[in-house]
Every structure is written in structure tokens, then in C-alpha cells.
Structure 1
């Protein structure tokens, strides 16, 4: 028997340490938290995806009384991006959240398993790493790739 360890590399940065493109992406994700429809969880999430054509596509979580018929912010943005820009490839995604009080969450949140799986497929489709920026009020985590968050993703690609 051989034990294997999976390491998730990430960098903790401040907003000012981000590149201008990354700040723009975080700002777009934070703005989208105000467009979330979250009357049940009271947890508003926004996502912003930078495409290789320099378009930023955004999304927010959309809940429904018939749970789990809602959709997370990351998938809202990802599906819209690929449906409307099928030839563009993802370069980066930023994710931010706020509570009902309007306060940004203190620490970064990461995508749920379903969103990680969807993003892993789009990263594989892109043929290169897709940076993941997880924005909290007190710090921001920059993860070099989706596969760092989902190293054993299910895939139909060979």
C-alpha cells in the first residue's frame, strides 16, 4: 500500500497585490453578489469569468423554493459564458459572497463540488490552467488552476 498526498497550492494576497485584471474580475464578482436571488439561504454569491477574448461574463446564485432547482453563481456564469461565447476559453474566475446584512464574508469561499466539476471540464476544454480567485473581505486566495481544487475530477476526455 502506498499513501498519496494531494496538495492544493494557493497564495494569500490583499486586494492591492492583485493585478489590474484580477482586481477588475474581483470587482465584477462582488458587484454580482447584489444581483443574487437568495431568499432561502440568505447567502449571496457572485462570480466573474475572464475569457480569452477579454470579455468578462458574470453570474450570481439564483435560488428557488423547489430546492435544489436553483443554481450557483459559478455555474450561472460558466454556462452563460460557454453558451454565448462557444469559441472563447476561460482564463480566470473570481468568486465573492456576502451575507444578508450586506457585509462581505470575512474569509474566501470556494466553489461547491458541482461547480468545481463544471469548471474542471471548462479548464480541460481550454487546454490550459484557469486561475481561481476566491475573494473575502480580509484576504483573497489565488489558486493557480481548477484542477488544484478538483484534482480527481470526473472526465469524459481521454
Structure 2
């Protein structure tokens, strides 16, 4: 038997104000998207904003329905829209913010497993990492230089 050690390098900013101005702007777009979330069942509102290499910013919010949980997360809403509208563009950066109607979210909230897989697919497709910033409603912002830090041993087309 052999032991394998996995390490991830993430960066933590104490607040959104500590991030670079372009990230503050991108996160503001995610916050606007979060305000458009349709989450009557979970009361958990998420917004995502994506910066593409063509300069476009695409955003999305989570969308639930009565057949809960068959709705769509904010990250996948934004990613799939970007892929449909700008199929040749690469995703450079992604900002994600989440807020609960039940409590104040002050810790960084990362993408769920399904969203991690979708982001991983685009990193593979474009052969380039996606810089990901995520936060709660307020407080710290976490940065990952690649989805690989959040999803080691990812599943991709090479496994098929």
C-alpha cells in the first residue's frame, strides 16, 4: 500500500475590498445575479458571474422548482449560458456569492459537486484553468487558481 497526499493551495481575502478591482466588479455582477435567484424552497440564493476571454461577462442565479431539487445552480446556469452564447470563448474568472434567507452567510461558500464537475469540463475543454472566487453574503473571499484545487482526481473525457 502507498499513501498519497493531496494538497490544495487557496488564497483568502479578509473582505471583498481586499480583492483586485476587477474581481470586486465581477463579484458585484454575481451579487446582482444572486438578487435574481428563484429559491422559494431552499431560501438559499446564489449568484455567479463569469469573465470570458472576449471581455464579455455572463451571469446566472440558481433557479428552483417544485420538483426540488431538479432546478439549476447559479454556476451551471452561467456556464451553460456562456457555452451556448459564446461557444468559442474561454472562461477566465468566475465569481460566486451565496446568501441564505435563514441566516447570514459570512464564510466562503464553494460550488457544489455538480457545479465543480461542470467547471472541470470547461477547464478540460479550453485546456486552461478557471480562476474561481467565492464568498458568502459578507466576509472573506476565497480564491482558487483552478478547479483542480477544489476537485482533485476529477472525472473527464479521458476516463471514458
**Corresponding residue for residue 153 of structure 1:** 154
C-alpha separation in 1, matches of 2:9 and 2:32: 27
C-alpha separation in 2, matches of 1:92 and 1:100: 27
How big is the alpha-carbon RMSD for the aligned residues of Structure 1 and Structure 2? 1.4
Is 1:7 matched up with 2:7?
Answer: yes
**Corresponding residue for residue 108 of structure 2:** 108
| Residues 60-85 of structure 1: per-residue CA shift (max 9 Å, x gap) | 00001112220000000000000000
1:16, distance to aligned residue in structure 2 (A) = 2.2
Gaps of 5+ in 1: none
**Corresponding residue for residue 29 of structure 1:** 30
Runs of 4+ off more than 6 Å: none
For 2:35, what is the secondary structure of its paired residue?
helix
Gaps of 5+ in 2: none
Q: TM-score if structure 1 supplies the norm length?
A: 0.94
C-alpha separation in 1, matches of 2:127 and 2:42: 35
For 2:156, what is the secondary structure of its paired residue?
coil
**Corresponding residue for residue 82 of structure 2:** 81
